[in-house]
Amino acid sequence: MVVEPVPDTPAALVELPDGRGLLLADIHAGIEAGLRRNGVELPSEAGKRRETILNLLARTDADRLIVLGDVGHAIGSHSREERKELETLVSAVTERVPLTIVKGNHDGEIESLLADRDGVTITGGEGIRFGGLGLAHGHTWPARAVLGAETVCVGHEHPVVRLEDEVGGGRKERVWLRGPIDPAPFEAHYGEDCPEIDGELVVCPAFNDLSGGTWVNVEGQSFLSPFLPDALEAGDAYLLDGTRLGPYDQI
């Protein structure tokens, strides 16, 4: 399998031409500072996020860390707290493995902070391809080369489901969405320039649970990505522990 979720985590191992990558989406470093500006007081979990990522790298013995966008939280200039978290995190990661960042909509100024760091590669939001693996953030249309891959992974959406117990209590759970890519929205967008599309689409859960999410099984909720849900009409949802919930829109 090109993409293998790491049990009980919002992370996956992916096959690369030169080894294995640890794939994360939507770290949203510095999110507490952003929430604080809106009147929500939360202690920073920067250290916890960093240690979790380093532990995952050690646990999986990955050769590279890949972040599918929104490594930071601020859409504009980074706050001092966010800048410190990003610099500390990136230094700790690149002491161990190279880092690839696929830019997300929250990463507009990430080059000014990280582009000159050794071991860091930053790609545009339209994505990058590693052999049979295509990677994009998901806030914009993926590159044609990305869409032609055997498996395409995107972030941005932060998919979550609402699960109810027997007495009507509910809880939120992050999920993976997986299924065959429906080429129709990409054919409509790219027209005659659309590549042949016959792969799997994986929508990754957000690494940062504070970052909210799209309720994929709640009526009236809309998706954020311009090609979802149309590109994943037959997708299934999987909990972080690997439990298959079935078609995400029927849960």
pLDDT band at 166 (very low <50, low <70, confident <90, very high): low
pLDDT band at 75 (very low <50, low <70, confident <90, very high): low
Record the tokens describing residue 57, joined without a space: 């790298």
Q: Report pLDDT for 116.
A: 85
Mean pLDDT over 74-89 rounds to 82
Q: Is the pLDDT of residue 181 over 70?
A: yes
pTM value is 0.93
Q: Is the pLDDT of residue 1 over 60?
A: no
Q: Which of 93-102, 110-119, 130-139, 226-235 has the lowest mean pLDDT?
A: 110-119
Torsion of CA 171, 247, 157, 82, to 10 degrees: 50
Q: Is the pLDDT of residue 2 over 90?
A: no
Which sequence spans correspond to the domains of the chain? 3-244
- For residue 237, the Cα-to-chain-centroid distance in whole angstroms is 15
In 3D space, the residue among 93, 247, 168 whose CA is nearest the CA of residue 101 turns out to be 93
- Per CATH, domain 3-244 is 2.40.128: no
Q: Is the pLDDT of residue 79 over 90?
A: no
Amino acid identity at 247: P
What are the pLDDT digits (tens) for 11-46?
Answer: 999 999 989 999 999 999 888 877 777 777 788 888
Q: Which of 38-42, 148-152, 243-247 has the lowest mean pLDDT?
A: 38-42
Q: Report pLDDT for 72.
A: 86
Q: Report pLDDT for 168.
A: 66
What are the pLDDT digits (tens) for 190-235?
Answer: 999 999 999 999 999 999 998 889 999 888 889 999 999 999 989 9
Q: Is the pLDDT of residue 149 over 90?
A: yes
Written as one string, the DSSP assignment of the chain is: --EEEPTTSS-EEEEETTEEEEEE----BTHHHHHHHTT------HHHHHHHHHHHHHHHT-SEEEE-S-SBS-SSSPPHHHHHHHHHHHHHHHTTS-EEEE--TT-TTHHHHHTTSTTEEEE-TT-EEETTEEEE-SSSPPPHHHHTSSEEEE-SS-EEEEEE-TTS-EEEEEEEEEEEPP-HHHHHHHGGGPPP---EEEEPPPS-GGG--EETTSTT---SSTTTTGGGTT-EEEETT--EEEEGGG-
In angstroms, the Cα distances linking 72 to 19, 113, 120, 153 are 26, 11, 15, 19
Torsion of CA 72, 74, 79, 80, to 10 degrees: 0
Mean pLDDT over 103-121 rounds to 87
Q: Report pLDDT for 40.
A: 77
